[in-house]
């Protein structure tokens, strides 16, 4: 076939795919490319678990976990942890220690979690029917929800979704039914790529289906971004996150992140009033105001914290070897001070490490509006148009999801339907009836016709 003809065929196929996509979007506002409608990231403790990636409500995936992350998994409602690999050696993320499998099992036990390892020591053959088989054998023994992990939340996503595809094939009542199309769409929606020959081969073998043509591929820059696996890819160079830790900075740099935009409140707000948000603490529930109120004292004093304990049965040693309480009260690794989260500290540390740091505070739980986005729009686009990876973070990756999807939509000329779909894929529902303040903000910037008509109705 001549090159010209091949090119023409390719572009024809692209047009057909586009038409089909447009049709699907119009016929259903709720169309998403995920296995099921995802919930907000983070199960029952979004500030602690924003990095857990939801495949389905029962299965979330992650990279290699620190001791703190295992404890947070328990605090937030996970019942089991599964490690794909057997780690004989400890590792590190920045200065933070990452336990061996044996140590992780002991921490999980202390936290009240089941813990299992899929592959035996030395076996790293993840893209295999055998690995899926082993996970499938473990699954019935686990209490849900399960947090499954590998090094970077990549290989475990493959094995877990293949387990679901196999279960779907053998049991028509299995939910959600995962076929090869769904598998590839979900991977693309998560920003990960399994279109290599060896993964295609295993996927075809497990599902018994042929590999579809024109596999969906992720729209992410860089393509392999998951050295910092905790980030949530939004589109191209835009990523979101919850509160990053000082220990994460090295991995962020490995991924090529240059810009970090922080949307948490600063130490003081624009009127000069104290406005520190909260840090996360082991065995302490989120919530209660930083500075206290009529009912409660300042958050980080023992008298307040002891009423916020997740599990009062826990030993003091659960928090740290020399702890004199069974709850934590400071979190310097998260840029916390004696009051709460301290944005000045984050700025100092990130600037020293060489990041381009930008502070664009958005009130947590506040209303979104066209004006709020308007305040930051030009700066956001200026940063985005460098094409360099941008990490936009808050506490739980929630408020930033709304702002970042809109920034990406404007930079890349996407429409309102795209923004609504992408927001859903990230676990947040925006419509004329749900989070309508966000809907109006989107409509105002992406579709002024819809903005004017919806606004009049409301
Ligand atoms: C697929 O599911 C069947 C039925 O549950 C099970 O016997 C088999 O081991 C599974 N295969 C894989 C590769 O997981
Ligand atoms: C929407 O309303 C604004 C202000 O009321 C107006 O300037 C704009 O032209 C309207 N847009 C459309 C498409 O009607």
pLDDT in tens, 193-241: 999 999 999 999 999 999 999 999 999 999 999 999 999 999 999 999 9
- Dihedral angle of Cα 262, 268, 274, 277, to the nearest 10 degrees: 0
Residue 313: count other Cβ atoms within 10 Å of its Cβ: 8
CA distance 23 to 15: 12
Query: Cis peptide leading into 416, omega within 30 of 0?
Result: no
- Per-chain mean pLDDT for the chain: 93
The answer to whether the CB of 133 is under 6 A from ligand 1 is: yes
Question: What pLDDT was estimated at residue 1?
Answer: 44
Query: Over 90: is that where the pLDDT of 456 sits?
Result: no
Shortest-distance atom of ligand 2 to CA 451: 1
Tokens of 295: 């009912």
Query: Over 60: is that where the pLDDT of 69 sits?
Result: yes
Beta bridge partners of 98: 91
Q: Of 63, 425, 454, 46, whose CA–CA distance to 242 is shortest?
A: 46
Confidence of residue 449 (pLDDT cuts 50, 70, 90): confident
Helix (H) or strand (E) holding 21: helix 3-27
Query: Over 80: is that where the pLDDT of 32 sits?
Result: yes
Query: Over 50: is that where the pLDDT of 15 sits?
Result: no
- Dihedral angle of Cα 285, 286, 291, 297, to the nearest 10 degrees: -20
Q: How far is the CA of 61 from the centre of ligand 1 (A)?
A: 21
Query: Over 60: is that where the pLDDT of 284 sits?
Result: yes
What is the mean predicted confidence (pLDDT) over 403-425?
97
Query: Over 90: is that where the pLDDT of 346 sits?
Result: yes
Mutate to test the pocket of ligand 2, among 416, 445, 448 (most ligand atoms within 8 A of CB): 448
The answer to whether the CB of 166 is under 6 A from ligand 1 is: yes
> Percent of the chain, pLDDT > 90?
90
Tokens of 110: 């202390």
The secondary structure of residue 38, as a DSSP letter, is P
Query: Cis peptide leading into 145, omega within 30 of 0?
Result: yes
Query: Over 90: is that where the pLDDT of 63 sits?
Result: yes
Query: Over 70: is that where the pLDDT of 10 sits?
Result: no
The lowest-confidence range among 20-34, 86-100, 197-211, 433-447 is 20-34
Q: How far is the CA of 128 from the centre of ligand 2 (A)?
A: 56
Query: Over 70: is that where the pLDDT of 4 sits?
Result: no
Query: Over 60: is that where the pLDDT of 180 sits?
Result: yes
Question: What pLDDT was estimated at residue 12?
Answer: 46
Query: Over 80: is that where the pLDDT of 17 sits?
Result: no
Q: Which residues contact 202 (CB under 8 A, 6 or more apart)?
A: 127, 128, 129, 132, 162
The lowest-confidence range among 27-41, 335-349, 437-451 is 27-41
Question: What pLDDT was estimated at residue 287?
Answer: 85
What is the mean predicted confidence (pLDDT) over 287-300?
95
Confidence of residue 19 (pLDDT cuts 50, 70, 90): very low
The answer to whether the CB of 165 is under 6 A from ligand 1 is: no
Question: What pLDDT was estimated at residue 28?
Answer: 41
Q: How far is the CA of 202 from the centre of ligand 2 (A)?
A: 53
Q: State pTM to two decimals.
A: 0.92
Confidence of residue 30 (pLDDT cuts 50, 70, 90): low
* Rounded (to 5) percent helix, strand, coil in the chain: 40, 15, 45
Residue 392: count other Cβ atoms within 10 Å of its Cβ: 29
């Amino acid at each position: 076939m001549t090159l010209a003809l091949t090119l023409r065929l390719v572009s024809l196929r692209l047009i057909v795919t586009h038409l089909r996509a447009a049709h699907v979007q119009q016929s259903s506002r709720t169309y998403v490319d995920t296995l099921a409608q995802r919930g907000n990231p983070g199960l029952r403790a979004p500030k602690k678990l924003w990095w857990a990636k939801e495949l389905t409500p029962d299965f979330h995936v992650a990279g290699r976990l620190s001791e703190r992350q295992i404890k947070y998994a328990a605090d937030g409602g996970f019942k089991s942890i599964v490690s794909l690999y057997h780690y004989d050696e400890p590792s590190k993320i920045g200065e933070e220690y990452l336990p061996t499998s044996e140590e992780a099992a002991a921490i999980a036990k202390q936290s009240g979690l089941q813990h299992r390892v899929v592959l035996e020591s030395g076996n790293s053959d993840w893209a295999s029917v055998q690995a899926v088989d082993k996970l499938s054998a473990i699954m019935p023994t686990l209490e849900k929800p399960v947090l499954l992990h590998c090094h970077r939340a990549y290989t475990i996503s493959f094995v877990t979704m293949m387990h679901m595809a196999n279960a779907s094939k053998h049991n028509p009542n299995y939910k959600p039914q995962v076929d090869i199309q769904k598998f590839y769409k979900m991977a693309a929606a998560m920003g990960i790529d399994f279109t290599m020959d060896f993964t295609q081969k295993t996927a075809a073998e497990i599902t018994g289906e042929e590999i579809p043509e024109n596999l969906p591929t992720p729209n992410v820059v860089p393509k392999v971004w998951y050295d910092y696996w905790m980030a949530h890819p939004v589109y191209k160079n835009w990523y979101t996150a919850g509160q990053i830790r000082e220990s994460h900075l090295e991995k962020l740099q490995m991924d090529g992140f240059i810009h970090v935009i922080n949307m948490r409140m600063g130490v003081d707000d624009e009127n000069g009033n104290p406005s520190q948000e909260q840090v996360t603490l082991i065995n302490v529930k989120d919530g209660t105001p930083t500075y206290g109120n009529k009912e409660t004292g300042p958050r980080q004093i023992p008298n307040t914290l002891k009423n916020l304990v997740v599990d009062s049965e826990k030993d003091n040693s659960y928090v740290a070897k020399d702890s004199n309480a069974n709850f934590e009260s400071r979190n310097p690794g998260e840029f916390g001070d004696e009051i709460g989260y301290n944005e000045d500290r984050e700025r100092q540390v990130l600037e020293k490490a060489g990041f381009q740091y930008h502070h664009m505070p958005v009130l947590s739980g506040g209303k979104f509006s066209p004006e709020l986005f308007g305040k930051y729009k030009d700066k956001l686009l200026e940063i985005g148009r460098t094409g360099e990876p941008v990490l936009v973070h808050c506490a739980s990756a929630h408020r930033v999801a709304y702002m970042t999807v809109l920034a990406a939509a404007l930079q890349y000329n996407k429409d309102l339907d795209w923004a609504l779909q992408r927001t859903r894929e990230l676990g947040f529902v925006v419509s004329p009836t749900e989070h309508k303040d966000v809907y109006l903000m989107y409509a105002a910037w992406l579709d002024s016709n819809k903005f004017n008509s919806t606004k009049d109705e409301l």
